[in-house]
Amino acid sequence: MSERWLVAMSGGVDSSVAAALMAREGHELVGVTMDLGQPESPNASTRSFKRCCGLPDAEDARAVARGLGIRHYTVNYRRAFHDAVIEPFADDYAAGRTPIPCIACNRVLKFDLLLRRAESLGARGVATGHYARIAPAPDGGPALYRGTDRDKDQSYFLFDIPRKTLERVRFPVGELHKRGVRELAHSLGLATADKPESQGICFIPDGDVKAALRRLRPEGFAGPGEIVDREGRRLGTHPGARGFTLGQRKGLGLADGPWYVSEVRPGDNRIVVERAPHLERCELMARRVSWLEAELPSGPVRVQVRHRHPSVPARVELGEAGEAHLLLEAPVWAPAAGQAAVVYDESDTRVLGGGWIAESA
């Protein structure tokens, strides 16, 4: 049955093919590109980095929409992006955590604000170019599954989308592999068929997190500080604690290495380092946990602590409201506070939920 759908068009090949597949099904489509602002690199041209959701990308999305014969709009979401993504990003680093801005962007902008816009347009919901799938859960309700292309699977970034929202979301490329998406884009003559993928943090296109934090929070940098080992012995200095993350090796400049960051103490501008074996963890405390199914996990599950990292077998012990103790059967490397711990079913295909890592041991 033909329905009206809003398609989030970032200007990349994945969302372009998602729109084309929805059009092929006969739906009435409204393409929307979110203008999130220009890169946070003062000397970067808007096309010199692999990024998304700026005005140049809107031009590419508009060209695809024109070729498909669908309406297209560019909508200014700069303030919402700043408040929901950039400010929390800076706050997390200020507190010594390592944020994942893509998760907040998905939850707040794509699957909240865009869904509201879809509703205002009389659309059934929102379709995006994510590599993930929605299919029935054992209880019959909608569930989030990994994308067929495990190398491109993005379900990790979608774990905290409310279950009721899944009923109004489509992931048209979730059943495809990336190569197939490219081939389809070429066969359809889409303007974005050969466009490079966006990589890294879209608002820090040059990858220099420390420089971006200095621009965002110049008052928060205390200058050089000490690098110490777990016993408090001074090993060297750093230019400022903010921007370091658990497990980091590069940029320490220490002799007798390798050393790895095991703790960031922004309060006293200090970095604690240890040897590699001490960075492996088998227990995690997750907070602000959300679940995608009514029946909470009680048996064996799998837990993933980084995008594209393999999940490991685990058990979940539910704590106070919004907390979960994750007992891992195999150690994981340097799970940083502020990162997501996503829980999958025992087959490692269906997302059960997840939360934000607060502690590890």
pTM of the predicted model as reported, rounded to 2 decimal places? 0.92
In a domain, 157, yes or no: no
Looking at every residue in the chain, the average pLDDT score rounds to: 92
In which band, very low, low, confident or very high, does the pLDDT at 38 lie, cut at 50, 70 and 90? low
Same domain, 242 and 344: no
For residue 135, the cross-strand partners are 143
Main-chain dihedrals φ then ψ at residue 288, nearest 5 degrees: 50, 45
From residue 137, give the alpha-carbon distance in Å to each of 134, 177, 302, 350. Answer: 9, 23, 17, 8
Instruction: Give me the catalytic one of 53, 102, 105, 282.
Output: 105
Same domain, 50 and 102: yes
Distance CA 359, CA 323 (A): 11
Q: Is residue 40 pLDDT above 70, yes or no?
A: no
Distance CA 5, CA 324 (A): 36
**Mean pLDDT (whole number) for 58-62:** 94
In a domain, 212, yes or no: no
Domain of 333, in residue numbers: 279-360
Is 142:167 a contact under the CB 8 Å cutoff?
yes
- 282 counts as catalytic: no
Given 231, 256, 274, the domain boundary residue is 274
Same domain, 258 and 304: no
Same domain, 54 and 102: yes
In a domain, 149, yes or no: no
CATH number for the domain harbouring residue 232 = 2.30.30
In a domain, 122, yes or no: yes
CATH number for the domain harbouring residue 36 = 3.40.50.620
Q: Which residue has the higher pLDDT, 48 or 222?
A: 222
**Which has the minimum average pLDDT: 20-29, 124-133, 170-179, 263-272?**
263-272
Same domain, 13 and 57: yes
Distance CA 340, CA 336 (A): 9
Radius of gyration of the chain (CA): 21
Same domain, 52 and 181: yes
- 52 counts as catalytic: no
In the prediction, which pLDDT does 257 show?
A: 86
- Residue type, position 297, single letter: P
Same domain, 300 and 235: no
CATH number for the domain harbouring residue 286 = 2.40.30.10
Same domain, 123 and 42: yes
In a domain, 194, yes or no: no
Instruction: Give me the catalytic one of 52, 53, 102, 202.
Output: 202
In a domain, 146, yes or no: no
Same domain, 242 and 98: no
Same domain, 248 and 301: no
Same domain, 233 and 300: no
Same domain, 266 and 308: no
Q: Which pLDDT tens digit goes with each residue over 226-266? A: 999 999 999 999 998 988 999 999 989 999 989 999 999 98
Q: Which pLDDT tens digit goes with each residue over 271-321? A: 999 999 899 999 999 999 999 988 888 899 999 999 989 999 999 999 888
In a domain, 214, yes or no: no
In the prediction, which pLDDT does 50 show?
A: 45
Domain count, the chain: 3
> How are beta strands 312-318 and 225-229 bridged, if at all?
unpaired
In a domain, 17, yes or no: yes
